[in-house]
Each structure stands twice: as structure tokens, then as C-alpha cells.
Amino acid sequence: MLAMPPASPAPTRPNRRVRVSAPGRLHLGFLDPSASLGRRFGSLGLVIDGFETVVELQRGDEPRMSAEGAAAQAELGRAREHLADLQRATGSRAPVHLHLAQVLPAHAGFGSGTQLALAIGRAFAALHGLSLATAEIARLLGRGLRSGVGIAGFDHGGLLLDGGPGEDGTPAPLLARFDVPAEWRVLLLLDPARRGLSGTDEKAALSALPPFAREDAAAVCHEVLMRVLPGAATADFTSFAAGVSRVQQLVGCHFAPAQGGSGYASPAVARACDWIAGHGTAATGQSSWGPTGFAILPSGIEAQALLDAARAAGAVDPALHTLIVAARNHGAVVDAGAPPS
């Protein structure tokens, strides 16, 4: 049985002000989206540095909400709903000031909705001295209905494997969790002109897809268990990269009908990732519904060199945003009593 790092603490006494920084994650693929053995989904995910949702919650004389920047302003509606749901569920009606200092890019493949909900929930629990597990916060706020890697990533960080949610709506169990070697790097390719599917559009797309073949689900599980996880556990990057890339190919083919016939939501991201896959040893693919693509490489030097070569070859559209980040081997940071930003 794998030893897990401790989850985010559940304070038992109220605080005056709480700041929670929740990390972004890459969703690397489902194990079995059609439940060929009776249990649906199951997910592989990777928590990354460089992208965070930061929530500040403090007591006040009257309810107030604020945000920094247009992206955070756009999330105030969801934040207000989460706060109302938490107040109804717990009976805690004391007025608070909720401030969104930073948010993950919405509908881009970073798990922005789940991290916003969990950050608000954790801050709310800490502010009121409530002992709420992260999975319980997710249940109260309607998160983790398909994937559990966002919930586990909030608590633990690292490379994560979950077993899919139960038919009764119970959260997906965390089956395995590994630290990612410190030298590995993730090259991110973001297309600001496109958005991944979400909400009712996502549900409609999932229902319209053909069943994921049982032999494909078996192949995904084989890659994860015999290449991806052992590769991370032993710092065998070649095995890890081959396994992730093969998982992406299998899952991408399944979801292609909902993405214009491609495993990528963005043609520009697809061109860049395909070029990188053909010119280096990298784990390439798309996170969730995208449009963000990724290339995981064994070092920052190799990541930068491959990105420079791809640009020189004209494979990276100038409109794409690129960033090289590390994996993050810890979860959210909870700072009780932090000064406001």
C-alpha cells in the first residue's frame, strides 16, 4: 500500500482570515469511460506548478465579494453559488468577504472549476472551524462526478490514479500517488482563442460518443500500470513518456468525434504536439477537453531546446501561449491568518 502525504488539515477552531492556494492539474486520460467492467471512468492526472487559484476569505460586518482581473471577475458568479451552498449545508451564516486573488484559466484543461470550489470550501471550513474532508467539500459543491484527480491533487499533488466514482456518487478512490522526479518539466501549449467543453455541452458530447472498446480500456490500463506508474516510481522517463503518449492516442481517438475528428481541440496545439512527438522523447497529448496541450520532458534544458526547435521549424503558431513548468508534489496551501493581498 502506498504511503500518502497528509491531506490538507481540517482546522477545529475559527480563524479571522484564510488564504488558500490551489494548484492546477493536467488530466492525462480516463481508464474506462464506458464501464466495460462495470466501473466507469478512472483517471490519470498530474498536478503542476505555475498555475493556481488563490482565494481569500475573511470575516466582515456585511457580505462582500471582490476579484482581481477580468478572469477572476468572470468567476465571481460561480464563487457566489459555492459560498451559498456551503452556508446552506453548514448553517454558518456569518457575513464574509470573499476575494478571488487569482484563478486558473477557465475551460482550458487545468481543472479550474474543481479547484475554485475546493479552495472556497477549504477556506470556508477553516474560517468557521469546521472539520470537512476535501471529498466532502467536493460532494457538497457537486465536483468530482467523473474524475477524482482534482480532489486528490488538491490534497496531495504529484502523479495520481483514481478508480472512478461509485454508482451512488461516492468520490473516486485514490489508487496510487507518486512524486514526480524533480528534474522533469512540462511544456504547456495554450490556445487562448479556444475553450474546452464543459457543463451541458460536455454531457451532450459524452452521451453522443460510441462505447469505448473493452480492448482499448484494457490497453490503457496496461500502459498505466506497466509503463506510466513504474516509470514515475523509478525515474524511467522513456517508459513513462511512451505510456502517457499511448494512453493519449487511445483516449484521443475515442473523444475525436466531439473535437472535429481530432484528438486535440485546437489544430494549432495539435500541430505543435505532433511535431514535438516526432522530434524528441516526450509524453505528449491534451489535458481533458483542452485546448491546452502538453509535452512532458526529462529536463528543463531539453524542454526549452525542443520548444526552440519547434518554433524554428514553424510548428508553433505565434498565437499560442507557451510555458515550461515543473510538476508539483504537494497539494493546496492553506494559510490561516494571512494578510490580504
Pull the grid cell for residue 314: 514553424
* CA distance from start to end of the chain: 41
Neighbours of 302 (CB within 10 A): 18
**DSSP code per residue over 17-53:** EEEEEEEEEEEEEEEETT-TTS--EEEEEEEEEEEEE
In the chain the domains, ranked by start, together with CATH numbers, are 17-179+328-336 (3.30.230.10), 185-326 (3.30.70.890)
pTM: 0.92
**Cell, residue 33:** 469511460
What's the average model confidence in pLDDT over 60-87?
A: 95
Query: Cα–Cα distance between 324 and 188 in angstroms, integer?
Result: 6
What is the spatial distance between Cα 294 and Cα 278, in angstroms, rounded to a whole number? 14
How far is Cα of residue 195 from the mean position of the Cα atoms in its chain?
Answer: 15
- Residue-wise pLDDT for 244-263, tens only, equals 999 999 999 999 999 999 99
Whose cell is 468525434? That residue is: 257
Percent of the chain with pLDDT over 70: 94
C-beta separation of 22 from 115 below 8 A: yes
pLDDT at 341 over 80: no
Query: Which pLDDT does position 305 carry in this prediction?
Result: 98
Question: CA 174 → CA 7, 49, 161, 208, 281, distances in Å?
Answer: 12, 21, 6, 28, 29
